[in-house]
Amino acid sequence: MSVAPDLISGFIAFILTLLVFSYLLGDNPFFRAAIYLFVGVSAGYIAAVAWYQVLWPELISPLLFGSPGERILLTIPLVLGLLLLTKIIPPLSKIGTPAVAFLVGVGAAIAVGGAVLGTIFPQTGATINAFDLQAAAAQDVSPAEQIFGASILLVGTISTLVYFQFGARRFSGETIRRSRLVEGIALVGRIFIAITFGVLFAGVYAAALTALIERLTFLWTYLGSF
Amino acid sequence: MAVIRCPVCGKPNPDDLELCQHCDSSLKPTTAELDGVSEMIRPGEAPTKKVTAELEQTLPAWLRGARKSDQTEDKEETPSDALSPPPQKSVSIEEPAAEEDLPNWLDGLEAEAESDEEEVPDWLANLQTETPVSAEETAEPEDEPDEGRPAVDEPITATSEPVAPRTGELIATPEGELPGWLADLQAESGEAAETPGEDLPDLIVESEQQAAELPADSEPAAAETAGTEKGLPDWLAKLSAEEGPGAPPAEEPSRPAPASTPGEELPDWLSAETPAAAPPQEHEPEPAAAQPAQEELPDWISRLPADETPAGAKTEQPAEAEAAPDWLSGQGESEAAQPSAPVESAAESASPADNAAPDWLSRMSDVSPEMPAQDAPEQPAAASDDGVPDWLSSLPAVEQNIEQQPAKESTPALILDEETISEDDMDAIFSMEMPDWLSTLSPEEKEATAGEGETPAPEESPASLESAELPSWVQAMRPVESVVPESPGNEDIEHVIAREGPLAGLNGILPVGPGIGPFNKAQAHSIKLQVSESQQSSAALLEKMLSTESEPRPLSTPPQVLPARVLRWVIALLMFLAVGASTFAGTRMTPLASLYPPEVGAVKDVINSLPDNAPVLLVFDYEPGFAGELEAAAAPVVDHLMLRGERLTILSTSPTGAALAERFLRNTQADHGYQSGQQYVNLGYLPGGSSGVLSFAMLPPAATHETIDGLPAWDTPPLQGVSSLADFAALVVLTDSMESGRTWIEQTSGYLDDTPLLMVVSAQAEPVIHPYYESGQVDGMVSGLSGGAAYEQINGRPGLGRQYWDAYSIGLFMAEILIAVGGVLNLVAAWRARQTQQTDED
């Protein structure tokens, strides 16, 4: 009996995989059917997860069976959630604005704080510490290698930032362009940016290739199960 | 001792008496009670209405003398004094603002303005009916004494000098439209000089007709006129009766014989006025006549300030030329045509008279037709119902000043060009409630004429009239229309003239609009855009940039070797064949790399450093589409953890993360025998994104309460002893998204303490997450299939990495070949295109 569900799920997965591969022939109804099915199933699954893993255990159940303190505290998210639901009703959409404002404000504050404390400051310090030869010696890295690597990092960072500097001057002949120094640095930054995009593309390709291999393995495994 | 006549009984009295010795009436004008009112009427002030009926009896004798100036007892009275122009003050009195304010003697004028015969007062109606009477009849009232004549019916002239028409230029007034005072004046000048009847208005024609009927001696004619009781009001009849005997005989011969025109009659007013005008023309010069004339001045005139003396006769000029109204001067001109010597002298004086004509009078012919009669009621009320205006009542007694000052200024005369003024114009002129000469005079003109008063105007322009010099109180009472320009907005603020209210007629007093303040002419702004050259060049540059942006760039379509669809099929076929063949064959041709990235080795070191059975948090934050890659990458890491017996806690910020975690454990780690709730616990979905991550990092038990199975999460064995994020032995994040991985790094960096953070990421997220490893924020990282394969090699436990490695390697090699081939093909295509272009250019 346990084989049957795996067989059915495997068959569905096999069919859906072929439908997705049909996109090689272009946009077709089979591909669209697979996409719509994926979206629908995902939405249903997410709704189920939201109810069973969020609303019920975190809100409804405490309101019904929790202590009075919990109930009082949970009225705030309950009210905000109800106000947020009014966004789906245009005449009442303004009522949900406070809830949205709360979400946006808290989210923005957290994101900014995390970016400043978790990315900017540490990354700036790391760029500076790249020239720390003592640390490099501690890691058994030659100073030349460390300086070379740090220099590449510094040049790449500065040149990339200079590339996005669009200030220009008016030169003779009514041509407006950046100075030659800035143009030269920006050209280097442009190279670094191109390399970065190439790396990203390689990563995407590698991820997609891995997914293709996994799907082909699944197909072959499924077909081999018979 | 001078003798004054009682204003009531008309009998002579010594001038030192206050009361008449005959009737005990006050010999002094009642204005004496207003002597204390030293304030003159300022320009723009509207005189207060007062009932001045009682003043009728006390009106000055000069008014009576105006009609009998040539009959006064004083023989020395000169004609120039008698010819002192009355119109200024007389008309100024006649400025009513409303019909109800009109004095009785103006009623007839107002009535005529509205062409309503019924409103003509009886006395005036009777007078009009008597207009065609003979000259003898019309001359009669002139000789009558002033006794019993209502003062209000007498014209109150600007000067005390009675006016006598001098020349043939008469005011062409329509019949019956003359006010009483004017009729009286005209009556005094009954012996008007003859004028060609065809050129004169009817009124003048009639007056000439009457004058023709007059005998050389006008006294009988005047007596006869007075005898026409039907045509005169009672007061006029009485006045005629009293003045007739008292008329000085010396003046009678001085009156020129009326040169009558056949078929023409002189109106009664002209018949009555002409005799008074004749003597001055013939005899005395003005200086000699000034003193006698001032004896006739009323007290209020005598007390007028010198600067406001409106019509003092100019001593340096002939009296008749300066003092006589121009219309009288014109009459004198007509008389000059007569062969008699006096007429010749009058003709000589006619020219100065014309020169003295004010401009307002010259424009009268043009303005009058345009001024409707109904505009007249807009003028401020200047006279009471009784005909005596308030200003007259309030005038201080300045008679002495008048007497002390020689007559210097000529009184403007009403001169009309007979050739240019038609009868309609005359109608329009006299249809107004106030005299036109007053209506058309502006302060500027007054000032101009003041300077020109002594200089005769050029005679070649008969239409040009000499402006008069009016006292301020007269100027203030001028009609607004004559002062206010047509377009005040075009003038300066100093010339803005109030149109209504108590300040009507004054300029520079009120702002243009209430609350607006003085207005100026709107500053002219050029509609042309004012831009500099640099701005123009910048605008042109911007326009050029925008135009280049809006223009679609032609896409450089390199020559295609194969159609896109076919090329896509070919590439897909090659990839399927390369990857599929290796997958289906299950080959292990490609060896794993002997060297592994340091970040992968760091992960191994970290896991190896973990204590046994330590709680480890696994975060499954990847989507199902990347499950194959993440499972291959994370399987050796999780396997390593399970090999070490770590207690695993699974959490996901993706709704599908919990299910993928279960799938991962089931498909890849089934051989470890981990049971949910025992060796591992799945906390499920952590909502809130960054907020949820931060909340969990701050206080994990508060962020999640139950497991995916509904069990109390923090009571499960895997979470024993864990109350914070730092209590976990390690945090391993499995994510395919750079944002998700960065969120976990950023939000948990402050709460991990010494807890290592390991990342298992997709190959596409590795370039972004790798700097965090370089900075030390991430202790180890496994990225993609290559990282998983490397970790498997480190562990010595091959798994999915090794299974996929051949296909993966072939796929990468195929991609490299395709990229290289594509690059070469593009270079060849570009080279060929360039060669073709050069060939075409050559």
Tell me the C-alpha distance between B473 and A193, whole Å: 94
Task: For chain B, give the mean pLDDT.
Answer: 65
Q: Which has the closest alpha carbon to B334: B172, B93, B493?
A: B172
Pairing, β B3-5 against β B12-14: antiparallel
Which of B576, B746, B784 is opposite residue A114, by nearest beta carbon? B746
Residue B745 touches partner A, C-beta closer than 8 Å: yes
Which residue out of B759, B769, B774 would a mutagenesis test of the A interface target, given it has the greatest number of A Cβ atoms within 10 Å? B774
Residue A110 touches partner B, C-beta closer than 8 Å: yes
Tell me the C-alpha distance between B543 and B548, whole Å: 8
Number of C-beta neighbours around residue B133 at 10 A? 24
Hey, what are B782's tokens? 């496994």
Residues of B in contact with A220 (CB under 8 A): 580, 583-584
Instruction: State residue B135's pLDDT score.
Output: 42
Q: What is the pLDDT of residues B14-24, one digit of tens each?
A: 877 888 888 88
- Segment B800-826 shows an average pLDDT of 90
Chain A closest-CA separation from residue B570 CA (Å): 10
Instruction: State residue A176's pLDDT score.
Output: 77
Q: Which residues of chain A have pLDDT under 70?
A: 1-3, 173-174
Residues of A in contact with B684 (CB under 8 A): 49, 53
Is residue B765 pLDDT above 90, yes or no? yes
Which of A111, A122, A207 is opposite residue B777, by nearest beta carbon? A122
Is residue B553 pLDDT above 50, yes or no? yes
**Which residues, 6+ apart, have CB-to-CB distance to B105 below 8 Å?**
B94, B152, B153, B154, B155, B179, B180, B181, B387
Tell me the C-alpha distance between B468 and B449, whole Å: 6
Cβ pair B181, B317 in contact under 8 A: no
Q: Which has the closest alpha carbon to B425: B416, B434, B433?
A: B416
Distances in whole angstroms, Cα of residue A45 to Cα of each of A21, B290, B597, B658, B684 = 24, 125, 38, 11, 13
Q: Where do we find the tokens 């390690």? A: B730
Is residue B264 pLDDT above 90, yes or no? no
Residue B674 touches partner A, C-beta closer than 8 Å: no
Distances in whole angstroms, Cα of residue B505 to Cα of each of B94, B100, B311, B401, B497 = 16, 21, 22, 28, 6
Higher pLDDT, B387 or B570: B570
* B746–A119 CB contact, under 8 Å: yes
Higher pLDDT, B441 or A174: A174
ipTM value: 0.90
Give the range among B318-327, B642-651, B652-661, B736-745 with minimum mean pLDDT: B318-327
Residue A125 touches partner B, C-beta closer than 8 Å: yes
B:43-72 residues touching chain A, CB 8 A cutoff:
none
Chain A closest-CA separation from residue B690 CA (Å): 7
Residue A118 touches partner B, C-beta closer than 8 Å: yes
Q: What is the pLDDT of residues B687-696, one digit of tens each?
A: 989 999 999 9
Give the range among B311-320, B430-439, B448-457 with minimum mean pLDDT: B311-320
Instruction: State residue A207's pLDDT score.
Output: 92
Instruction: State residue B742's pLDDT score.
Output: 93
**Quick one: CA dihedral B812, B813, B818, B820, positive or negative?**
positive
Residue B710 touches partner A, C-beta closer than 8 Å: yes
* A216–B579 CB contact, under 8 Å: yes
Instruction: State residue B21's pLDDT score.
Output: 81
Closest-CA residue of A relative to B633 is A210
Closest-CA residue of B relative to A117 is B746
- Segment B784-799 shows an average pLDDT of 90
- Segment B125-141 shows an average pLDDT of 46
Instruction: State residue B400's pLDDT score.
Output: 46
**Which residues, 6+ apart, have CB-to-CB distance to B112 below 8 Å?**
B120, B174, B176, B177, B178, B430, B431
Burial (0-12, 13-18, 19+ Cβ within 10 Å), A12: exposed
Q: What is the pLDDT of residues B380-398, one digit of tens each?
A: 444 444 445 555 555 554 4
Residue B683, SS3 per DSSP? strand
Which of A50, A200, A214 is opposite residue B628, by nearest beta carbon? A214
* A122–B775 CB contact, under 8 Å: yes
Percent of chain B with pLDDT over 70: 41
Q: Where are the domains of chain B?
A: 1-34, 61-475, 486-514, 564-585+816-841, 598-798
Instruction: State residue A33's pLDDT score.
Output: 94
Residue B187, SS3 per DSSP? helix
Which of A24, A50, A117 is opposite residue B569, by nearest beta carbon? A24
Q: Which has the closest alpha carbon to B736: B617, B654, B836?
A: B654
Residue A49 touches partner B, C-beta closer than 8 Å: yes
* A217–B804 CB contact, under 8 Å: yes
**Quick one: CA dihedral B287, B289, B293, B295, positive or negative?**
positive
Hey, what are B309's tokens? 């003396």
**Quick one: CA dihedral B21, B22, B25, B31, positive or negative?**
negative
- Under 8 Å CB pairs connecting chains A and B tally to 151
* A119–B784 CB contact, under 8 Å: no
Instruction: State residue A160's pLDDT score.
Output: 93
Tell me the C-alpha distance between B494 and B520, whole Å: 10
Residue A81 touches partner B, C-beta closer than 8 Å: no
Q: Which has the closest alpha carbon to B735: B757, B712, B711, B708?
A: B757
* A118–B656 CB contact, under 8 Å: no
Which residue out of B746, B760, B769 would a mutagenesis test of the A interface target, given it has the greatest number of A Cβ atoms within 10 Å? B746
**Which residues, 6+ apart, have CB-to-CB distance to A137 below 8 Å?**
A143
Give residue B2's identity as a one-letter amino acid code: A
Confidence band (pLDDT; 50, 70, 90) for B460? very low
Q: What is the pLDDT of residues B67-103, one digit of tens each?
A: 555 555 554 544 444 444 444 444 444 444 444 444 4
Tell me the C-alpha distance between A185 and B637, whole Å: 42
B:542-561 residues touching chain A, CB 8 A cutoff:
none
* The domain defined by B598-798 carries CATH number 1.25.40: no
Is residue B246 pLDDT above 90, yes or no? no
**Quick one: CA dihedral B644, B649, B653, B655, positive or negative?**
positive
Higher pLDDT, B761 or B432: B761
Cβ pair B505, B381 in contact under 8 A: no
Cβ pair B483, B380 in contact under 8 A: no
Residue B625 touches partner A, C-beta closer than 8 Å: yes
Residue B695 touches partner A, C-beta closer than 8 Å: no
B650-678 exposure pattern, b = at least 16 Cβ within 10 A, e = fewer: bbbbbbbbbbbbbebbeebbeebebebbe
Residue A70 touches partner B, C-beta closer than 8 Å: no
Confidence band (pLDDT; 50, 70, 90) for B708? confident
- Segment B769-780 shows an average pLDDT of 92
Instruction: State residue B182's pLDDT score.
Output: 55
**Quick one: CA dihedral A147, A152, A156, A158, positive or negative?**
positive
Instruction: State residue B748's pLDDT score.
Output: 93
Instruction: State residue B772's pLDDT score.
Output: 94
Q: Which has the closest alpha carbon to B278: B231, B356, B316, B222?
A: B222
Tell me the C-alpha distance between B61 and B296, whole Å: 7
Instruction: State residue A178's pLDDT score.
Output: 80
DSSP B37: -
Give residue B214's identity as a one-letter amino acid code: L
Q: Where are the domains of chain A?
A: 136-226
Q: Where do we find the tokens 């005072």? A: B181
Residue B815 touches partner A, C-beta closer than 8 Å: yes
Instruction: State residue B617's pLDDT score.
Output: 94
* A196–B767 CB contact, under 8 Å: yes
Give residue A118's identity as a one-letter amino acid code: G
Work out the end-to-end distance of chain B between its first and last CA atoms, rounded to an integer number of angstroms. Answer: 133
Cβ pair B474, B392 in contact under 8 A: no
Hey, what are B635's tokens? 């399987």
Number of C-beta neighbours around residue B612 at 10 A? 9
How many alpha carbons lie under 13 Å from residue B628 in its C-beta half-sphere? 18
- Segment B366-388 shows an average pLDDT of 44
Tell me the C-alpha distance between A164 and B791, whole Å: 39
